[in-house]
Amino acid sequence: MLASSAVLRRQHFLIRSLGTHNNQNHTQRIRYIQTVTMVAEADAENILRRITPILDPNRHKGQAGKVAVVGGCREYTGAPYFAAISALKLGADLSHVFCTKDAAAVIKSYSPELIVHPVLEESYSVRDDEKRAVSTKVLAEVARWMERFDCLVVGPGLGRDPFLLDCVGEIMKLARRSNVPIVIDGDGLFLVTNSIDLVSGYHLAVLTPNVNEYKRLVQKMLGSEVNDQDASQQLLALARSIGGVTILRKGKSDMISDGYSVHTVSIFGSPRRCGGQGDILSGSVALFLSWALQSSTAPGDSTTSLSNPMVLGCIAASALLRKAASVAFENKKRATLTSDIIEHLGQSLDDICPAC
Ligand SMILES: NC(=O)C1=CN([C@@H]2O[C@H](COP(=O)(O)OP(=O)(O)OC[C@H]3O[C@@H](n4cnc5c(N)ncnc54)[C@H](O)[C@@H]3O)[C@@H](O)[C@H]2O)[C@@H](O)CC1
Ligand SMILES: Nc1ncnc2c1ncn2[C@@H]1O[C@H](COP(=O)(O)OP(=O)(O)OP(=O)(O)O)[C@@H](O)[C@H]1O
Ligand SMILES: [Mg+2]
pLDDT of residue 4 exceeding 70, the answer is no
Q: Name the strand (E) or helix (H) holding 5.
A: helix 2-22
- Which atom in ligand 1 lies closest to the alpha carbon of residue 77? 3
pLDDT band at 40 (very low <50, low <70, confident <90, very high): confident
ipTM of this complex: 0.90
Return the SS3 of 304.
coil
Give the pLDDT confidence score for residue 24 in this predicted structure.
42
The 10s digit of each residue's pLDDT in 310-352 is: 999 999 999 999 999 999 999 999 999 999 999 999 999 999 9
Residue 176 known to bind ligand: no
pLDDT of residue 297 exceeding 90, the answer is no
- Which atom in ligand 2 lies closest to the alpha carbon of residue 281? 29
Number of domains in the chain: 1
Distances (CA, A) of 272 to 57, 262, 342: 39, 26, 14
Which residues are near ligand 3, the ion (C-beta closer than 5 Å)? 186, 278
pLDDT band at 8 (very low <50, low <70, confident <90, very high): low
**8 Å CB contact between 312 and 306:** yes
> Domain of 99?
2-53+60-352
Give the pLDDT confidence score for residue 15 in this predicted structure.
54
Rounded to the nearest whole angstrom, what is the distance from the C-alpha of residue 276 to the centroid of ligand 3?
7
Residue 307 Cβ inside 6 Å of ligand 2? The answer reads no
What's the whole-number mean pLDDT along residues 223-248? Answer: 96
CA angle (248 as vertex; 342, 76 as ends), nearest 5 = 50
Q: What residues form DSSP beta bridges with 313?
A: none
* Average of per-residue pLDDT values in the chain: 91
Single-letter code of the amino acid located at 169: G
Give the pLDDT confidence score for residue 304 in this predicted structure.
55
CA angle (208 as vertex; 281, 179 as ends), nearest 5 = 95
**8 Å CB contact between 264 and 41:** yes
Which residue, 310, 298, 243, is CA-closest to 9?
298
Residue 271 known to bind ligand: yes
Give the pLDDT confidence score for residue 268 in this predicted structure.
87
Which residue, 160, 163, 164, is CA-closest to 98?
164
C-beta atoms surrounding 35 within 10 Å? 9
What's the whole-number mean pLDDT along residues 46-61? Answer: 94
The 10s digit of each residue's pLDDT in 271-286 is: 999 999 999 999 999 9
Rounded to the nearest whole angstrom, what is the distance from the C-alpha of residue 133 to the centroid of ligand 3?
31
Q: What is this structure's pTM? A: 0.91
Residue 259 Cβ inside 6 Å of ligand 1? The answer reads no
The 10s digit of each residue's pLDDT in 168-191 is: 999 999 999 999 999 999 999 999
Residue 158 Cβ inside 6 Å of ligand 1? The answer reads yes
- CATH number for the domain harbouring residue 275: 3.40.1190.20
Sequential DSSP letters for 26-73: HHHHHHHHHH---EEE--HHHHHHHHSPP--TT--TTTT-EEEEE---
**8 Å CB contact between 191 and 201:** no
Give the pLDDT confidence score for residue 356 in this predicted structure.
85
Residue 321 Cβ inside 6 Å of ligand 2? The answer reads yes
Rounded to the nearest whole angstrom, what is the distance from the C-alpha of residue 2 to the centroid of ligand 3?
32
- Using a 10 angstrom Cβ sphere, with 0-12 exposed, 13-18 middle and 19 or more buried, the burial of residue 125 is middle
Strands in 254-257's sheet, in edge-to-edge order, are 39-41, 262-265, 254-257, 246-249, 205-207, 182-184, 151-154, 66-70, 94-100, 115-120
Select from 81, 97, 164, 212 the residue to mutate for testing ligand 1; criterion: most ligand atoms less than 8 Å from CB.
212
